[in-house]
């Protein structure tokens, strides 16, 4: 699009809109390229392959679609516990801990908490996970990954996840 042909005010506003929403534009680009999250999860050479496959298999698709986060490239899953929903953020290939938010098993409460969790993820993206973890978080936990032995690390991670889900 040739911005010079537009009115100066409109061109300026469009430029700001594009600049402010570059992540949204990238998300659209990825959505066009990736029509099925399972294609991403077939990549066995990523750091959290086993965790992502496990979470994708346990994800409650009837309540929430799997969400993508671009920076760092990661996924948000919804798992069911007995008394709570568990919203889980897992990165594709960075050494981030698994973040878990525990939410009352009520769809209205879940909807409200998802809005707050989106803000948490924005804070992580903009200021880093350290800034987020320094804030007081209710109903939140994280699981640190063990990368020494991938199989043992996955088993320890899975056991901690299941324990926290109750």
Q: pLDDT tens per residue, the chain (166 residues)?
A: 443 444 444 434 444 444 445 555 455 444 544 445 556 556 666 788 899 999 999 999 999 988 888 888 889 999 999 899 999 999 988 888 999 999 999 999 999 999 999 999 999 989 988 899 888 788 999 999 998 998 999 999 999 999 999 8
Phi/psi for 76 (5° steps) reads -120, 125
Q: What local confidence, expressed as pLDDT, does residue 58 receive?
A: 95
Helix axis angle for 8-20 and 22-33, nearest 10°, is: 70
Helix axis angle for 150-165 and 49-58, nearest 10°, is: 30
Task: Identify the three-state secondary structure at position 68.
Answer: strand
Q: What local confidence, expressed as pLDDT, does residue 4 receive?
A: 43
Distance of CA 79 to the CA centre of its chain: 13
CA 139 – CA 106 distance, rounded (Å):
15
- DSSP summary character for residue 143: E
In sequence order, which ranges of 21-82 are alpha helices (DSSP H)? 22-33, 37-41, 49-58
Look up the pTM and report it.
0.75
Q: What local confidence, expressed as pLDDT, does residue 37 receive?
A: 56
């Amino acid at each position: 699009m040739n911005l010079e042909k537009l009115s100066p005010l409109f061109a300026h506003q469009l430029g700001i809109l594009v600049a402010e929403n570059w992540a949204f534009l990238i998300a659209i680009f990825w959505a066009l390229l990736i029509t099925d999250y399972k294609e991403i999860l077939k990549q066995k050479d990523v750091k959290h392959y086993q965790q992502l496959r496990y979470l994708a298999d346990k994800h409650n698709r009837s309540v929430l679609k799997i969400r993508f986060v671009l920076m760092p490239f990661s996924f948000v899953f919804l798992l069911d516990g007995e008394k709570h929903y568990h919203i889980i953020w897992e990165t594709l290939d960075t050494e981030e801990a698994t973040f878990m938010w525990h939410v009352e098993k009520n769809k209205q409460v879940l909807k409200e908490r998802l809005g707050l969790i989106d803000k948490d993820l924005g804070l992580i993206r903009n200021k880093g996970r350290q800034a987020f973890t320094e804030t007081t978080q209710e109903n939140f936990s994280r699981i640190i990954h063990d990368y020494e032995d991938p199989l043992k690390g996955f088993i320890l991670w899975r056991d901690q996840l299941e324990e926290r889900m109750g």
